[in-house]
Structure 1
Amino acid sequence: MPLYQKISVDSNSVILIWKIAESFNNLFRAVVLKDNSLARLEGMKSESHQKGFLAVRMLLQEAGYTDFDLYYDEFGKPHLKDNKNISISHSYDFSVVMLSDKNIGIDLELRRDLIKKIARKFAAEAFVYECENNSAEFISKLTVVWGIKEAVFKVRNEVGISFKDHIFTKPFEINHSKTTALLDFIDTKQEFMVHFAEIENYTLVWLWEMNS
C-alpha cells in the first residue's frame, strides 16, 4: 500500500509511516539495494523482519533518498550521507522513519499484555505501582515508557546504559501525548522532549535532545 501517514513535527522534522500490506516480492521489486544491504536481507530468518527492512527503504524513497544514501556506524546507528539525522523503527505491520536536523530517536511498539511481566526490569517501582492501580492505562503507559527508553538509547547508544537505572521519564498522562525524559549516565545528563501517539494497536514515540 502507499504511505500510511506523514507527521510534520516542525519545519525541519518529519515522520513517515508505512503499513506493510505488500508481499515480500512486491516490496523487493520496488527498491534497489546495495550489496551489503542485500546480504543483510538474505541473512534475516523472519519474513516479517525482511518486509520491515524493505518497507524502511520504501520510506527512504518517499523522502527522496535510496538505500545507497543510508549507512550505519560501528554502533549500528543509521546515518544519511547528506548529514540529515535519521531514526528508524519497525514492529510487525509497520515501519517508521524520522528525519530531522535535530538529534532524534523514534520507536514503535505493539501494545501487548506481555509488557506487564517485564515492567520492573525497565521502569521504576513507583511508576509500576501507579500503573497497576490504573489498569485501563497500564499497558499504554508502560509501552510509552519502553518506547521512550528505546528511543533515547537510539540517540545515545553507549555501552553500559541501563534502561532502568539511567533513563528516566517525567510523570505523564496518556491524553497529554507528551512528556520529557532524562539520560543520566556517567558524566552525561541530557534532557529530551518526548511526544507519543497511538496508531491502531501500536504506540509511536519520538523525541529529540532539547539542546539540539
Structure 2
Amino acid sequence: MPLYKTINPNSKTCVKIWKIEESYEVLFQSVNLRPECLKRVLGMKSELHQRGFLSVRKLLAEFGYSDFDLFYDACGKPHLKDGKQISITHSFNFSGVIVSDDSIGIDIEKQRNKITVIAHKFIGYENQYLSENDADYIKKLTVIWCVKEALYKLFATPHLSFKKHCLVIPVSDNETETVAWIEYENKKFRYHIQFLEFEGFTCAYAIP
C-alpha cells in the first residue's frame, strides 16, 4: 500500500505521505479529475510530475475527499470546499498532504548536494548557526528549505522572501521540532515546526 505514513500532530491536524510506486497509467485510471485538472495533467511533459499530481489525488481520497473538493485561489493556494485548511507537496517519488482546522503548510524535498548552490538565496539569519563543515550540512539546509517552503505555502503572500522574512530557529541533534518566524511588514508570526526524514527525503510542516 503506497500510503507511506500518517501523522497526527494534534487533534485538529493530520499529515499523510504517499510513496509513489504506481505507474502513471495505474494512477490515472484510479482517480476522477475535474476537466481543468484532466487538461492540466495531460499537458504535463514530465511523467514524474504527472505521477506526483495524481498521487496527491490518491491522498485526497485517503482523507475522504476527491479532486472535485479541491480548488485554488488567485495566489495558487489550495482550499477545500468544506472550509478545512490544506497544503500539498510532492518531490520525486513522495507526495504529502496536510489537512487541518488551522492554517498549515507542508513541504517534502529530496536531500541533494545541489542545495548548496542555492543556499545563498534562502539562508539569512540561519548563517549564524550553520557551518559548511558540519557533517549534516546538506540535511540541515534541506530542513531549513522545507520549513521556509511550508511557511510560504501557509502565509500565501506575494513577495514573501525566504531569506528576508522567514527565520528558522536552530535544531539540536536528534530533535524533530523547532520554531520558525515570519517577520513581514513590521509584524511577527510564530509557527511550530515538525519535521522528519525518510529514504533520503525531508518533510517539514508548519502549524500555528
TM above 0.5, one fold?
yes
Kindly state the Cα deviation for residue 93 of structure 1 after the two structures are TM-superposed: 0.4
Deviation digits for residues 34-58 of structure 1, max 9, x if unmatched? 1111011112111101000000000
Structure with bigger helix share is 1
SS of alignment partner, residue 141 of structure 2: helix
State the Cα distance separating 1:133 from its structure 2 match: 2.8
Residue 28 (structure 1) aligned with residue 28 (structure 2): yes
4+ residue runs over 3 A deviation? none
Q: Distance in 1 between matches of 2:125 and 2:81?
A: 42
Pairs within 5 Å for 1:167-186: 167-186=166-185
> Does structure 1 retain, via aligned residues, the 8 Å contact 2:4–2:17?
yes
Matches within 5 A, 1:122-201: 122-124=122-124, 127=127, 130-134=130-134, 136-201=135-200
Cα distance in structure 2, aligned partners of 1:173 and 1:189: 23
Q: Deviations for 1:80-138, whole angstroms, at most 9, x for unmatched residues?
A: 0001111000000011000111110000000000011211111127627732131x110
State the identity %. 47
Q: Paired residue for 1:11?
A: 11
1:25 deviates by: 0.6
Instruction: After TM superposition, list the pairs within 5 Å mapping 1:115-126 onto structure 2.
Output: 115-124=115-124
- Residue 199 to residue 128, structure 1, CA distance change in 2 (3 Å): farther
User: What secondary structure does 2:65 align onto?
Assistant: coil
RMSD: 1.4
* Contact 2:13-2:101 within 8 A present in 1 as well: yes
How many positions carry a matched residue from both structures?
208
Structure-1 separation of matches of 2:68 and 2:173: 38
Cα deviations by residue, 1:8-54 (Å, 9 ceiling, x for unpaired) = 21212111111011110100011000111101111211110100000
Whether the aligned pair in 1 keeps the contact of 2:87 and 2:104 (CA below 8 Å) is yes
Per the normalisation by structure 1, the TM-score is 0.94
What is the deviation of 1:158?
1.2
Q: Does the CA-based 8 Å contact 1:109-1:143 persist in structure 2? A: yes
Report the counterpart of residue 99 of structure 2 in structure 1.
Answer: 99
Is the contact between residue 141 and residue 174 of structure 1 (CA under 8 Å) also seen in structure 2?
no
| Cα distance between partner residues in 1 of 2:173 and 2:42 | 39
Separation in 2, partners of 1:7, 1:117: 32
Task: Give the letter aligned to residue 28 of structure 1.
Answer: F
Q: Describe the SS at the equivalent of 1:130.
A: coil
Structure 2 segments unaligned to the other structure (5+ residues): none
Q: How many Å separate the matches in 2 of 1:36 and 1:162? A: 30
In structure 2, C-alpha distance between the alignment counterparts of 1:8 and 1:130, rounded to whole Å: 30
